[in-house]
Amino acid sequence: MKKFLWSLFEMIETVAIAVVAVLLVRSFVTQPFLVSGASMEPTFNNGNYLLIDELTYNFRPPERGEVIVFRYPNDTSTYFIKRVIGLPGETVIITQGTVSVKNQHGVEVLREPYVMGQATSPNMQRTLGKGEYFVMGDNRNFSFDSRSWGPVPSKDIVGMVRFRLWPLNEAMAFSAPRYSP
């Protein structure tokens, strides 16, 4: 009987350690995210299951081109997924669907091979303040983003997309595109 109780104790201890480890990772390192909608097509489709890295932005700020998950600024109980286009202190300029960014290095027209179709958004210009990010969906004609409601404050950013886990035939890791000519 003593051997049985000792084995049971070891099994309970192993399960408890595993549960605590999963809870810690889920709370502070990574969390799952289910894509809902078409705003990020063709990069992510409705129903894709992603893993979000919540740790990296504790050590560095978001970079242009990274796909992030954040709390919608007008309702922080809602989560969105979009691509970072403009960084703090920059001016985002949209002219006839072409996106440019003006910063201390000059004006750079972004080459965006991930964008679906030709964007028909109205011309606009937006200068970002400290801790503000301009985000847009890859499916520009069907994306509710910073063009409509303004920049995302850094405090609302949850993390960046690192992996697509579902569907299995499309499972892969993600990184930010390079914009330099």
Short-list 138, 64, 129, 130, CA closest to 101: 64
The per-residue pLDDT for 130 is: 92
39 is catalytic: yes
Phi/psi for 84 (5° steps) reads -75, 125
Q: DSSP per residue over 134-174, as a string? A: EEE-SSGGG--SHHHH-PEEGGGEEEEEEEEEESGGG-EE-
The per-residue pLDDT for 109 is: 77
Collapsing DSSP to helix, strand or coil, 100 comes out as strand
Which residues of the chain register pLDDT less than 50? Answer: 181
Q: What is the pLDDT of residues 127-154, one digit of tens each?
A: 888 999 999 888 878 788 888 888 989 8
Q: Cα dihedral sign for 74, 76, 82, 87? A: positive
Catalytic option among 2, 7, 27, 39 = 39
Q: Cα dihedral sign for 119, 124, 127, 128? A: negative
36 is catalytic: no
Whether CATH 2.10.109.10 fits 31-173: yes
The per-residue pLDDT for 177 is: 67
Q: Where are the domains of the chain?
A: 31-173
Catalytic option among 2, 82, 121, 146 = 82
Q: Cα dihedral sign for 170, 46, 111, 152? A: negative
